[in-house]
Structure 1
Amino acid sequence: MWFFNSFKSQSPIMASEDLRRLRAARGYTKASITRLFNFSNNENDVGLSAISDLETKRARIEELFKDYEQCNKEILALDEADAEDVEDYEAKYYNILTILNEAIKNKSSSSDAPSSDAPASSCKKAKLPTIKVETFTGKYSEYTGFINLFKAIIHNDRSIDNVQKLYYLRSFLANEPFDLIKNLPLAEGSYEEALKLLEERYNHKFKIVNEHINSLLDINALVKSNPANLRQFVSCIKQSLSALKNLNVSTDNWNPIILAILYRKLDIYTSRAYQLERDDTEEPTVTEFLLYLEKRALALENAEPSPTPGKSHHKAVVNVTATVSPACSYCKSNHRLFDCSKFKMLTSSERIAFSKNNDLCSVCLNKHNGKCRFHFRCSTCKQAHNTLLHPDSANQPQVSLISNLGHNGVLLPTVRVKLYSRTGSEVHVKALLDCCSQSSLATTKLINVLGLTPSKDNSNIIGAGGKSTDTQYSIPLDVYSLTMPYRVTANCNVMEKITCQLPQNAIKLDAFSIPDGITLSDADFHQPSEINLLLGADIFFQVLLLEPVLGQQERSAQPVEDPASPHPTVVNTKFGYIIGGGLPRQQTSDKSKNESSVCKTADGFFAT
């Protein structure tokens, strides 16, 4: 270490010479690390090395990495613009250390084998299969299983330090979970912080329960009953119900609801057979229903004809060949069109156009001559066509009437709400509550700040005077109150701009009195601000709070000078009190006439 410390006593004139020497020293250290990296990744070299040799190399890599870090610190002190890729050599260091530790551990355990006096059978050890941790991509229902397995294999292993545990954890994450912790430094304290971030983000019982319930609602319908389809159907139901019970969700009284959902998924023959066989004097249960399906699957298996030698062998081969799924006519993969995820991502108009252009049957989505042998109907309108070809309601025009945008005599109610970005940070947004809009809206600017990716969704927004605007994307946003523990999900269409700054002109607060003892959701309601979120009528009427009837004087923000003039009304909501309505005449601030002063107060949202 004397080599690095000696540079600290150098005069500033020698800085360039010191920098050259430090970079040369770092280059030598990097070359040594690379040689050890190549050695450790060669299975033959590691396998033939003695334990003492591996331990020496382990001590050497630890010493080299300390020198490498010291070099970087000294270089950064002299040149802050140094572009060294530290992350690459950190990864090499942890890779080398992991391989050497595992090799030393394996060789040590093998050296503890019984002596030659012991029976030959006792010298053999069964090699257990390697446990593979599936990559966690952010699905709530998979988080509990992932984190429990990770803790059992990695977290509870005392031979691994926290830095190595963090390295393992990062290797098992992808997409949003990886982005959540990727900026944490590879340091001792970062591991616990990473576990905490994942726990806060994904251990949400409400979300997990919802995913399991949705899996019941979205389970594939049985178009034709055969043993494989029935057993898969039963397996999916049991998995979802067992997961709900493990989450302490009481499903004992859900029998009528679950059975009503599952009846709709059965083919007509299975449904008819179940209704004929069940006991009409007893209330049906899910357990009884699943038992019947398992018995039916077993009966179908036993009823399948066995091949006759000589004659039916060729026929059996032909049948097997005929049941192989043909290539999808849309993406050319080995599945049917109605199972194609890419086809489902299209808008209904695009799916209908594709079906017509390729002469596909509107019922089974296949090509055939004559009448279709299937008789199922659209689950939405009950007409004789496939549900995927039903026109989406999302393609029908939605009305969005932002009230009185151009009139300075009316104050529109605004609220301050909280959103969470992709990285988990809070973002506070000024939103407009609009009881005249059928849809909620969000600006592209807000979506970029949140770091989220909207879904493709073509919609037509009709405004005042019949003017329409096409939007191509939508996204669900969880909107949180800043005044009470409340959250609501708004499905927002994404557009470049919602409206102008609101209010259009600054309002003098001394023009009227606001009742005492209330907390306004938007304390800056009187200042012109950018609007990046609009919450439509479905949200507006959810957040209104019913209160004891107040007197007109208590509920209204009365004008100070002229009580008879128009005045706004104060209303309580789950976001806090909002204020809106008619304004006293000529109560806009003189400052509002200055365009530059309005721009300075336009802070539609800010990150915390």
Structure 2
Amino acid sequence: MREYYRWRKDWESLQQQGDPSGSPEVKFQLLESVEETIVKDLRLASHNTAKDVFRVLENRFGNKNAITILIVAELQKISPVKEHQFRKVIDLIRITEKALADLKDLDNEAAIKNPLVTGAIENKLPLTLKKEWLTFKEDPKNSVQPESYFDALLDFLQKQERILEQLEQMEITEFPEKKTEKKFASTRATERGSTEDNCVLCENKHRSRLFTCKKFRGLDLAARKAAVKKSRACRLCLSSHGADGECNLKFLCTKKGCKKGGGVRPPLPSLPQ
């Protein structure tokens, strides 16, 4: 539907140059320029003249009000553009240009210059570009009037298009390898950190608090000693507090001579009773 009037105008212009006499062969040339599926669906070959063929095509594809609604709806359903999405801003400008051209073919430019439609286009711009536009609009020397509001907005965006193209190219070519490397480095760091927190026995996240491990409590003495050595936990309180740290008194072994207050640690590993 959006292409119908432009296609018809181009076809008639070429036909006038090639065969200005309007001979009967025009119908067959017309049918050859239409997609085969459309010819079959609308049974265009059954009509006698090119005029009849155009009548059927216009009934199906030439409703100007329906086309106008379609163009405006497609323009309004575009999602707002976020910062640094330069390509999407460029696409928005070009879609707006095409919508204006299509509406000109329908002699209905007023549909896109409606304040509601113009406002919808403004609201889709990223914040930085929107601020620049508002600054431009409020400057008295630019003379942005209500009747020329859409034209001024489109002219402003078209002037920004070249800058946006350059910004997009810079964004694509600026150190892609470093960005990738940083991403993988972050992933490795996360994986390494999560692994180091795991318990040596049950893989739960309590490696620094061996005394909370249910599996550890069910081991015999020899297995407990091996688990303490492997986890590098304190032999007295079974938590990881380092050589200069204080024992966790709540979980400190109650066996005589084991408490931190005694000031002397036993020569051999001592475990909770």
TM-score in terms of structure 1 length:
0.24
Looking at secondary structure, tell me which structure has more helix per residue.
2
Structure with the bigger RCO (C-alpha within 8 Å, sep 6+) is 2
TM-score in terms of structure 2 length:
0.48
Structure having the higher Rg: 2
Looking at secondary structure, tell me which structure has more strand per residue.
1
